[in-house]
Each structure stands twice: as structure tokens, then as C-alpha cells.
Chains A and B, each alone.
Chain A
Amino acid sequence: MPELTYAQALNQALREEMWRDPNIVLLGEDIGKYGGVFGVTRGLYDEFGGARVRDCPLNEASIVGFGIGLALAGMRAVTELEFMDFCTYAMDQITNQAPKLRYIWGGQVKVPLVVRMPIVAELGFGSQHSQSLEAWFMHVPGLKVAIPSTAYDAKGLLKTALRDDNPIVFIENVKLYATKSEIPDDEYLISFGKADIKREGDAVTIVAISAMVPEALQAADELARVGISAEVIDPRTLAPLDADTIIASVQKTGRLIVAHKAHKTGGVGAEIAQLVSERAFDALDAPVVRVAAQDVPIAASQPLEAATFPGAKELVSAARKLVNR
């Protein structure tokens, strides 16, 4: 099987689905000849032309709004936001419009829309380009939210998203774009709402999101050396969330760490911790621990940025403390 990077896998998913479905139109900034700010749409303009791979002016709100309009008219839109942080410009369209229209219009319309946006954390871009805002979208009924951590998952989930008739926020991660997976030659899809156990273990469960997944796997290696067996779960989609897989793991291990690069307060980790509290409180041998970014704006300077975000080291220390409690 060929190895592809995360970015190449996304590109392949877009290419395959655009061949399969002539209704798919891509809208974004510099996604045409240039191939996207991080190269995800490279080559698609040459292959499918400017009518379907559309360079837009710099107006995130209208890019998503046009995507909704295309979807209302029976097409299927993929809109690219260059950095996740820029979703703030498009929030009305993403949260107030796309996920509501079908419901408030009594099922008369469908909104097949994929809003792609990458997290660009830990690369020195500073506070307005480095945020992980996935919790905002998980909060909104009517939206589906995917947040893959590997090239393999990215391809399978994006292909599924491109066949779904609902609005989907598809959260990528630039720090992961160069990481590789073996990608099967045969077509495959990954269902939403199915977590992946990235590593099995029985002493502590680590639910990790996006770039925290490779950190959790590294932490699990280190923990194994001191005799602690960690299970690493990647939810892969936050809406729908595969609570069953998480609960089953906690019932086995009795201990849970939720880990993300998003700020700690009001993050996805809080939601997962509460779900476990509601459904598996008796299985817990210790309080749930959150390993997350500090609640500070993200600084550009390297040591300040490094002190903001958690990594494998913080996970190892949290797990050791939790297991030896």
C-alpha cells in the first residue's frame, strides 16, 4: 500500500469524490492554480477547471454563504477556510444558517455542505491563527463535526462527508499535514460516530483529539516502559460522538484523561468528562483529568507558546499521577 501524507490523503479524497459526483464545487481563497494555502487542493484546478475549483475574494462569510446557496439549489459545496480562526467571520453562516434551514423549513431542503478548516497550532503563528475551536461547533444542533488525526482517517472521513446531505465542519490540522499513513488502493469510507482505539491498554484511558492523538501514542509508549498500560481513543468525530466506545474503555480501565490542544475551559474534554460522569460514574476509580491548553491567548514567541500547549510529557505526568493516586 502506498504511503500518503495527511494533506495528500485529503487531496485524494477530494479528487476521487469530484470524479464520482459532478455536483461537487469547491470554494475558497487561493485554492485554484495555487492549490490552497497549505496545498490541499493542489492539482484540482487543472483537473476539474475553474468552474468547480473556484478562487474567491477574501470573504469567509460569503464563501460559506455561497456554499449554502449551492447546496440549497441541489449541488454539493466544499468551502475552505485558510485557518480555523477565520471561522469567526463565517460563524453566522456556519452555526445560525447551515444547520438550521432544514429544521426551520420543516424538512423542505437539504444542505450538503462541507466547511473545511485547519487548526494551525504550535507553529508560531500567534493568537489569531493558532486556536482549536472545535467545542464551538460541537455545541450546535444540526452540525456534524469531524476532526481526524491520521491521513488514513482524514481520507475516509472526508469521503464520507462528501456523500452526506448535511452540513459538516471538517477540522484538519496543519501540524499533521505531513504525517503519513498507508492508504489502501481500494476505496474505503469511515462512518461518522465511530471512535478508533488507536492503542489498547487497561490501566488508563486517554481520549485524545486531533494533534493530541500522536502525543498520546508517544505518551503510551513511555508509560509502557514504567509499567502503565494506556488505552488511546480517538473519537474522530465529535458530532456524532461515539460515547459507547469511551464508556466501555473507562469501564475497563477505571481512569480517564481527556486531552486536547484547545483551551481547557469549556472545551470538548469537559463534555466528555461529564458524559462519563453521567453514564459510568461507578466505573471511575478517580476523578477525570483534563490535559488541555492553558486559558491564555496564544503568544507567538516559542517558549510562551510551548508553555501554553500540552504534549506527551504532560500526558505522561498526568497518567502517572492518576494511576498512582
Chain B
Amino acid sequence: MELITAKQIELLKQMWRIRCFEEQAIRLYGEGYYRGSTHPYIGQEATAVGACAALRPTDPVLATYRGHGVCIAKGSDPQRMMAEILGKETGLCHGKGGSMHLADASVGFVGSNAVVSAHIPMAGGVALAQQLNHTGAVVACFFGDGASCEGIFYETCNMAALWKLPLVFVVENNEFAISTHVSESISVPHIAQRAQAFGFPGVTVDGCDVLAVYAAMSAAAARARSGDGPTLVEAQTIRWTRHSAVSAGGYGAGKDAERWRATDPIPRYSEWLVTQELIAPDEPARIEQAARAEIERAVKFAIESPLPAVEQLHEDIFA
């Protein structure tokens, strides 16, 4: 599937939005603007952006507690996202969700879930609804390498294959649990191999290459939309930060930092756009600046927004 130039540039803009958003989310946490924790997406931007760009706006997407990146990539408003993270009334969920439970139904982001793998069967159910109602929509379910070890993932793989559901599993393989490396937790070299057991395709792509992710996701979405069932897309990516803002340090010192710089999806894609003469050489810097300014406005909006009134404690428990 070919991308028109405007969309190709948009991919870079989205990656910068995510990068800047996460840098600010980490800073605000450190400065005590919110409690709990936050799970940054820095280093993984190409996976969310490439995958969501291959979907239609009406395609539902589900993701994890490391979900800020997917939420932005799906088209949500960074201002309301940041306000949510800060527990503000103006947040996407009026402050009741926080960093790990973002959702924006208006853009088809059917939420991030904070229990590892719990949203995977829900994605199956959302996909079943698309099939039963003949909507033509495809559901994308993002989760990490850790979730791919939970039993409920295999249950859903089986049901999705059995019923040929319009579902794409997107594994964001960022190599690490809090500290355990995938080589110590996963029995096969590639998570994508696990799809074979259920009789549907599994592909491994460079998750730091936004165009590679886009291509793999386009093929998977087309297959799902044509009624042939699920695909497992494993995006091999790299998490630059600790698991979460409250996890112990010591992760990724020395050699890892060099590796991150080498695989950083943003300069890599910027250079490609310039080399292909799709943008001027000074354009990437302008895109970065615009993203920084946009996210700074989001931070200002979030900080200045009011906290929810205590009366809202009992609202929205039942429909």
C-alpha cells in the first residue's frame, strides 16, 4: 500500500508528538504533579504510529497500560490525555483513569488496560461484534511480550482463528519485563512463531522502522478485512526507559544507550524522508519544534485544569 506524501510526513509528526509527550509525562511525574506511575513509550513510537496509520479511523484499537503512544497514534487529543494523567476534570476520563487507563471512544480507542493481557479477549469480542454486524472494521490489539505469555492470549488466539475474526494482534516486543529479558521468558526466538500453533500467520518486523510496521500492518488488516482471520504482527522494538517511573533503576546503562541511539526510529525516518526528497533537510527540526510546542501547550492545559469535584466519586459506576 502506497502512502501519499502528506501521510508520510504525518508519521514523523506523530512520532515526535509521542516522544515529546512521554518526556513531559516523565518530567511531570518526577516533579510530583501526579502519583501512581507511568509507563513510557519512548523508543517504541514507530510501532504505534506505523500500525495505526494502516487502520481506518473507524477501526477499534485496544492497548495496554503503556498506552500513551497508541492513544496519540489513534488520533486522541494530547491535551485531554495529559489532563487525564494529572487526574484532572478535563481529562479523557475525568481523572478517574489516570496514566494506565486512557480511553477515547471518539477516536475508536477502546481503552488501555492495566492488567497484563486482560484486554486481549475483549478485543476478540469487539472483533466478533464487527463480524456479526458486518461493519467491515478491523480490530487491532496491542500488547507486550509479557502479555504474550499469559494464558488468556492463547485462548483468544484459538477463538479468533476458529471464528476467523477481523483481528490483528500487535505484539510490542520491547525485550524486557521489569528486568527479565525475553531470552529468559520466551521459549522460541520470535513471538510471531506462536501464531503457527493456531494456524494463522505470524510475522516479525523491525518495530523501529515505521514503514516496515506500516507495511506489515496493512497486509494483516487487509487479510482480516477480507474475512481470512487474524494475524500476529510482532514488532521488535526497544524500550528506552525503565519499565515504569517507579521501577528500580540500573536498566539499560552503557551499551544499551548506544543501541538505542542506533535504532532510534525518529532520526532514522527523518533521514529517509530527506533522502527521498519528500521534505527539505531543515523540515525535521521544524516538525520537532512544532511537536514540542504542542505538547507544552498540553502540559499547560493539564496543569491549569481543575481537579474533579468530590461529588463525581459516585458518578458513572452504573449506566
Contact = CB atoms under 8 A, between A and B. Distances in A.
Nearest to B156: A62
A62 B121 contact: yes
A146 to B, nearest CB: 14
15 contacts: A57-B162, A59-B159, A64-B121, A65-B152, A68-B121, A69-B122, A69-B123, A69-B125, A69-B126, A72-B126, A75-B133, A104-B97, A106-B316, A107-B315, A112-B319
A65 B96 contact: no
Contacts of B54: none
Interface in B98-141: 101, 103-105, 110-111, 113, 115, 118, 120-130, 132-133
Contact of A56 (B95, B159, B316): B159
A144 B106 CA distance: 28
Interface stretch (A95-103, A223-231, A247-255, A288-296): A95-103
Contacts of A70: 125-126, 128-129
Interface of B: 60, 91-97, 101, 103-105, 110-111, 113, 115, 118, 120-130, 132-133, 151-152, 155-156, 158-159, 162, 315-319
A107 to B, nearest CB: 4
A61 B121 contact: yes
Contact of B125 (A77, A102, A144, A166): A77
Contacts of A73: 60, 125-126, 129-130, 133
B126 A97 contact: no
A186 B120 CA distance: 42
B155 A105 contact: no
Given A59-B155, A75-B129, A97-B115, A106 B122 contact: no
B93 A106 contact: yes
Contact of B121 (A66, A71, A96, A111): A66
Nearest to B92: A106
Interface string A105-148: 11111111000000000000000000000000000011010000
Given A62-B159, A73-B60, A106-B93, A101 B129 contact: no
B118 A59 contact: no
Given A101-B111, A109-B103, A110-B319, A65 B121 contact: yes
Which 5 A-B pairs have CB atoms at the shortest separation, nearest pair first?
A69-B125, A65-B121, A73-B129, A106-B93, A107-B316
A278 to B, nearest CB: 20
Interface residues of A, number: 41
Interface of A: 25, 51, 56-57, 59, 61-62, 64-75, 77, 92-93, 96-97, 101-112, 141-142, 144, 165-166
A74 B137 CA distance: 14
B127 A69 contact: yes
B159 to A, nearest CB: 6
A74 B130 CA distance: 10
B122 to A, nearest CB: 4
B96 A25 contact: no
A65 B124 CA distance: 8
A105 B101 contact: yes
Contacts of B151: 61
Contact of B118 (A97, A103, A108): A97
Task: Give the most central of A77, A106, A108: most B CB within 10 Å.
Answer: A106
Given A72-B125, A73-B129, A105-B101, 16 more contacts: A51-B132, A57-B155, A57-B158, A61-B155, A64-B121, A69-B127, A70-B126, A75-B133, A77-B125, A102-B316, A102-B317, A105-B103, A105-B105, A106-B91, A106-B93, A108-B103
A25 B133 CA distance: 12
B122 A72 contact: yes
Contacts of B317: 102-103, 141-142
Given A66-B121, A92-B115, A106 B129 contact: no
B158 A109 contact: no
B132 A68 contact: no
Contact of A165 (B92, B118, B152, B319): B319
A67 B111 CA distance: 16
